[in-house]
């Protein structure tokens, strides 16, 4: 039985903050990013703002595997960060997952 190596996982998170709470939301996102960048499975995590929609951010992420991203989602900084963000956003964050094309 051969083991197939897991592919890297790419993720785009679309985050829309309540305009009056955007500064607080950004602070929580930056704290989350700082902690995530120290995780062994994280390759990168970047936050950019839409020029067309000022309250809309895109978080670009890459993890070594889906399993490492799944583990990331159970860390205290993610669980606590998502709880803190819940009242600061206009709508639930949209997650889009991608893998490398062979």
In a domain, 26, yes or no: yes
- Is the pTM higher than 0.85? yes
In a domain, 1, yes or no: no
Specify whether the CB–CB gap between 39 and 67 falls below 8 A: no
In a domain, 41, yes or no: yes
% of the chain beyond a pLDDT of 90: 84
Q: What is the pLDDT of residues 41-77, one digit of tens each?
A: 999 999 999 888 878 999 999 999 999 999 999 999 9
In a domain, 4, yes or no: no
DSSP 1-24: -PPPPPPPEEEEEEEEB-GGGHHH
In a domain, 25, yes or no: yes
Residue 76 vs residues 1, 3, 28, 48: alpha-carbon distances, Å:
36, 31, 13, 24
Helices (H), the chain: 22-36, 66-72, 76-85
Residue 5: its pLDDT value, please?
64
Determine the structural domain holding residue 73 and report its residue range. Answer: 9-99
Total of domains in the chain: 1
Looking up residue 27, the CATH number of its domain turns out to be 3.30.70.100
In a domain, 94, yes or no: yes
């Amino acid at each position: 039985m051969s083991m197939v190596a897991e592919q890297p996982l790419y993720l785009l998170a679309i985050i829309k903050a309540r305009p009056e709470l955007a500064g607080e939301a950004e602070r929580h996102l930056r704290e989350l990013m700082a902690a995530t960048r120290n995780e062994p499975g994280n390759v990168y995590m970047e936050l950019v703002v839409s020029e067309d929609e000022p309250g809309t951010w895109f978080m670009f992420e890459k993890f070594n595997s889906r399993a490492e991203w799944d583990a990331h989602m159970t860390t205290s900084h993610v669980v606590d960060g998502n709880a803190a963000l819940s009242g600061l956003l206009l709508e639930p964050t949209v997650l889009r997952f991608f893998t490398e094309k062979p």
